[in-house]
Each structure stands twice: as structure tokens, then as C-alpha cells.
Chain A
Amino acid sequence: MTPGLLDLDYSELLNRNRELGDALAGAEAVSAAVLANTTVDPLKEILEYALRRARVPATVRIGGFDSIVQDSERCSDCRIVAVFFDAGVALPDALAGLLKGGEAAEREFVAEMARRTRTVLENLKAIPLVLFNRFCPLPWTCFAPEQRRLDRICAQLEQALDFSQWPNVAPVDLAKIFARIGVAESVDWRLYYRARALYSLRFLTCWVDQVEPILTSLAGTARKALIFDCDNTLWQGILGEDGFDGIEMGMDTPRGRVFREVQQDILELAHGGIILGLCSRNNPDEVDEVLARHPDMLVREPLLSVRRVNWEDKVSSLAAIAKELNIGLDAIAFVDDSPQELLAVEQQLPEVAVFQVPVRLSEYPSSFRRFARQFALNHATGEDARRTAMYRSEALRRDAAGHFATREDYLRSLQLRIRVHRDNPEHARRVAQLTQKTNQFNLTTIRYTEAEVLRMVSSESQRVLSLEVSDRFGEYGITGVAIYDLRAGGRESHIDTLLLSCRVLGREVELALMDALIDQLRADGVATVHARYVLTRKNTQAEWYFERCGFSLVGQAGEVTTYALSLPDYKPFECDYIARSYA
């Protein structure tokens, strides 16, 4: 693991950032830009470091001083743009006019700032992610008891702008960072009057730390599963010794309230799509009893996608959990109260993020919330709410699999159904999420935001197919994506993205997906389709795919293998145990 932002001194960060840059050299660079009306140049390497840690080969550039509007027209190459537009810095230039012109002049100043902001955000409309700092007066006004002019202006700006009209914009609340480290630590007046560098190094570092979860979610490196120990972790006490009535997690005792609040936070995470599981050395029957019947228990049976309650060591259990959920160890976070158990996990499974219940118990909920920042930020989509149920039906399927003589008998018994949707804007959020999270069966691993998917959905020359899969045990939901474009008057097509969620792998849905894709290409009048397989650390299991589907090899350079297929030559798989339909 590379050290976190807050653990490094600045020279060390500069060195590490260079090393990471060298290690990622050769990968296609991802551009990012920072536009500002203050001097924020030290942000360049800090932001690069955070992105490169998340395995994004980023290069950050800092825009010209105080030329946000002009610079925003020149960002089309960027995946990420951050905007530091500070009202307190812009105000002094206008102050003489404001003093003379009274309220009307102040309204005009606000209108002008809002106009410029809208222009900038419109110019940046096509950028996948725009981090826009909310207008915040605190560096100038936090010591004033009354509402100052700048307080008023920032409040009015906040009212005048509705950030939700730009789905690619993530507003950043500077007030939260000021609250974390204090205003005095956040601004550097020496460098402000010397070089317009308003923000201290500490502030800039905390700013990147604050937005890091957004960056890792976009990069697909955020964690997906939260696994808990039970005793002194989900509840106070040891079930085997204190018994069903002796453990505490209710409102009646101070300790109980601590564990109750942690359980409430866990519920929120589950609602946001994080997979929950138990990994505990305990008697399974006793734990089952608590899950089913304890009146104070909030994290209940249906929310738990996986359970390893036994007397095995935690390292083996966690490895088994990763396998069962079909996710990487680096997608797992584990919470336990035992330093020994956590040490063993840290040593033997260093990819797993571990959290120890603090010795000062009252700090458990707040420090757990800080830890939980590293989980993927999902806008709650319908998919997320259904996910737990889906991972559970998976357990039923696995049980069923034991009863069949051949694999085909088993697959046939599942009664698989796929439904193919074409350019459906309602699926855009889920499609973006799949591009961001899918690592294994993902042929090109291109990450998209919802705004980008929506643009492709409405484009004449691009098609976005979303694949809905179900079987007799339940719904898998939208679990496959194919994106392709049409060229040469529609005679040729390039496959941009082809992926399947790991939930549906190993059921020949891969093959049905290609049958469906070819059907759609034919409907578009395509004669030749080109495809790429881009090797990553995680997608080797998809290496065979295009060849198996009858594509011929065109070339290979570095990580990229290119293929082509003449549509008349395609031999469909026609798996008769997968029913296919088109929306």
C-alpha cells in the first residue's frame, strides 16, 4: 500500500508522486486540470499522487492565474476539473463600486459571479467529473459576529446556483475542511499577500483527502464489502460467555448506544449498496439466534450477504469470503476488536483494509464513519437496494449446483433469461456504475460517468446496450454493458466497452451477450466489427473471449490486442438454456 496523503511530508510526497508517475509511464495518461483565481500550484502533485495511488495515470495541470472562464474552454482533454473560484478574492476589486452603489450594486455583483460560474460549468458540461468548491466566506468573516457583506454574497450565490442541474458537478464544501483543521491553519496570509496563494499546504492536502472518495469511486478502486466480527464489534460483550441476554447494543446503556449507532451506520452503508458480511469465531447457532431474535439487533439476516461464523482463523475465513463474493481482497474492509486477529490479517492479507474498534469506545462511531469514507459512493440506484438479495440467491444457487450431474444440467435448471435494452437513458446511472466497478470481465476497462453515458445514449453514432439477467432464483438486475459506435456510414463498428458483472459469470451469459450484440450490430447494418482487449492486472480471465467468439486477431501492441470479425462469418452460440429478448 502507498502511504496516505496525510502521512507524508510534502517533499516526500513529491518524490513518491514522481515514482508512481514513472511506474505508470506508458499507460495512456489521464488529464486533470485545476482552475483558480488564487495560486494553488502546490495542489498539482498532491492531486496527482491521490489519483496515481488509485492507479489512475493522471497528469494535473494548473490553469492560468485568475483566468477560470477562459481556461474552462480549454479542458476538453480532461477527465477531471477542479474549480477554486473564491468570492473573497474576487470581492476587493469590486468593493469601491459596491460601497458607492449600495444594494443594487451588490445584487449586480452576485449576478455577475453567478453568470461567470454558470458559463464555467456549461463549458465544463462534457467533463466526466467537475469538483466545484462551494462559495465560502469563512477565511474573511469567521471572527465577525454579524453577517458581513461577503457572508451575504456567498449565501446569495448558493441560492442563485442549482448545482444539481449539472450531473457531472460534485460541489465541495470548503466549510467542512475549515471545520476539520480550523480557518487559521487553512489560510496562509503571508503567501496570499506575496503570491495570492491563499490556502496553506495543510488545507490543500486536506482538500484532496476530502475529495479522495469521489476519485476512488470514479477510478473503480473504492472498497465494496464490509465484513464484521461480532463480539465487541457489533455488540458489547462476548456471546459465548455473556449469553443472549448479556450482550448490549440497545438504547439502555452508554455502551449499548455506541454499538447501536455503529449498527445504524452499517445499515446506511448497506442501503448505499455496500455488501455486508460476518466473519466471527463463534458458535454459528448462537449467532443465528441473535440475528433472528435479539430485539436490539439492527443488522439482521437479510442484509448479510455472506457469513463465516466458525472456529477457523480470520485469515482463511476472509479469503473464503472474497472467493464466495467473487471480489478482490482489495475490495474488502474488515472490522474487529482484536489487535492480534487484525495483525494477522494485515500481515497475511495486506490488501484488506482493517479497522480496529477503538479502546476508547465512545470514539467508535465517529472513527468508524471516517474509516467508512473509503467505500464506493453510490447514488442509491435500484440495483444497490437489490444487491443483498442477489448475493443471497447466489448462495441458494450454489446449493442447487451440488445436485446436478453435469454443468449443463445445472445451467439448464437455472432457467436463465436475458433482456437486452438499447440506449435506455434510465439505465445510464447503473451503466456508469458498472463501468466504474467492473474489473474482471471487462474487455477495455474504460470508466464512464453518468453524464458521459447519457451523452452516448443520445448520440446517433453510438449505441449503449444494457443487459438485464434473471433466473428462477431471482433477478441479477442490469449486469452487462456493451457500447459500440458506427462508422463508415454504419458499415463498420468499434466495440468501445464490453463487460459483465461478476455476479453473472460462469453461466455462459458471456456467450449469449455476444449473440445479442451481433444481433444488434446486424440491425444497425454493420458488416465488420472491430474489437479491443486491453489487459489490466485484473481482467486476464476475459483474455480468451474474442477468439472464442470467432474474431480474428489483427494485432497486438503492449497491453492492447485488436480483433476484427466479418458479421456474415459469425457462428452464434445459441445456448438454448438462455432465453433472450429485446426491450
Chain B
Amino acid sequence: MRERVKAVLASVIGVKMSEIGDDASVSTLEAWDSIKQIKLIMALEDRFGLMFDDDEISELISLDCIAQALERRQAARRQA
């Protein structure tokens, strides 16, 4: 999951996937600004075919958090 998120993040920020560390977050990546954040939300939703809730959107501030949010969604989908 992490790798798939990394690929989207790399496309949005405009860097190679290898340049994105596992600890990537809004505070470690300077290019990850508020405009990129909007594009990132749109890109993730488009790629993974879902719509985040209001509360989830606020959490999408690091690679880890995004991967977790997506995994939670997938688990919920499997249960349903």
C-alpha cells in the first residue's frame, strides 16, 4: 500500500519515487504544500476509487497516515 501511495505522491509533488522516504510528511517534504495537498486528495481518490470523509481529509498529512486511512477503508470494504 505504501508503495502505491508513494507513486501517487511522487506524481503530485513532481519527484522520483526513490526521493520519497518512508517518513515523508507535510513537515518533512517542503514541496508538499496546501495546493499540492488538494491535488493529492484528488489524485488518491481517483487512483483508489473512493471519497474521504471530512475527518479523514484532515488526517492525510503523512505517507503513514494516508496508507493507514486507505487500509482502514479496504478492511471496511472487505467486511461489507
Contact = CB atoms under 8 A, between A and B. Distances in A.
Q: How large is the interface on B (under 10, 10 to 19, 20 to 34, 35 or more residues)?
A: 10 to 19
B79 interface: no
B42 A201 contact: yes
B63 interface: no
A521 to B, nearest CB: 49
A12 B11 CA distance: 8
Interface in A292-332: none
Given A10-B47, A195-B38, A15 B54 contact: no
Contact of B47 (A9, A190, A200): A9
A11 B47 contact: yes
Given A11-B7, A195-B34, A201 B45 contact: yes
A502 interface: no
B56 to A, nearest CB: 10
A197 B45 CA distance: 15
Contacts of B7: 11
A10 B46 contact: yes
B57 A190 contact: yes
B22 to A, nearest CB: 19
A506 B11 CA distance: 49
A9 to B, nearest CB: 5
Nearest to A190: B54
B43 A14 contact: yes
B14 interface: yes
A168 interface: no
A39 interface: yes
B66 interface: no
Nearest to A197: B38
Given A42-B42, A195-B34, A201-B42, A11 B57 contact: no
A194 interface: yes
A548 to B, nearest CB: 47
A39 B43 contact: no
Contacts of B52: 190
A14 B41 contact: no
The B interface, classified by DSSP as helix, strand, loop or mixed, is helix
A417 interface: no
Contact of A41 (B35, B45, B57): B35
B45 A18 contact: no
Q: How large is the interface on A (under 10, 10 to 19, 20 to 34, 35 or more residues)?
A: 10 to 19
A29 interface: no
B35 A11 contact: no
Contact of A11 (B11, B34, B38, B54): B11
A191 interface: yes
Contact of A191 (B8, B11, B38, B46): B38
A528 B61 CA distance: 64
Contacts of B46: 9-11, 201
Contacts of B45: 201
Contacts of A9: 43, 46-47
B70 interface: no
B73 interface: no
B39 A41 contact: yes
B14 A41 contact: no
B14 A42 contact: no
A59 to B, nearest CB: 14
Could you say which of B39, B42, B57 has the most chain A C-beta atoms within 10 Å of its C-beta?
Answer: B42
Interface in A1-23: 9-12, 14-15, 18
Nearest to A14: B11
Contacts of A10: 39, 42-43, 46-47
A191 B46 CA distance: 15
Nearest to B35: A41
Given A9-B47, A10-B47, A39 B38 contact: yes
A11 B43 contact: yes
Contacts of B39: 10, 14, 41-42
Given A11-B7, A11-B8, A14-B11, 12 more contacts: A9-B47, A10-B43, A10-B46, A10-B47, A11-B12, A11-B43, A11-B47, A18-B14, A39-B38, A190-B57, A195-B34, A201-B46
30 contacts: A9-B43, A9-B46, A9-B47, A10-B42, A10-B46, A10-B47, A11-B7, A11-B8, A11-B11, A11-B43, A11-B46, A11-B47, A14-B14, A15-B11, A39-B35, A39-B38, A41-B35, A41-B38, A41-B39, A42-B38, A42-B39, A190-B52, A190-B54, A191-B38, A191-B41, A191-B57, A195-B34, A200-B42, A201-B45, A201-B46
The 3 closest A-B pairs by CB, nearest first: A11-B11, A201-B42, A10-B46
Interface of B: 7-8, 11-12, 14, 34-35, 38-39, 41-43, 45-47, 52, 54, 57
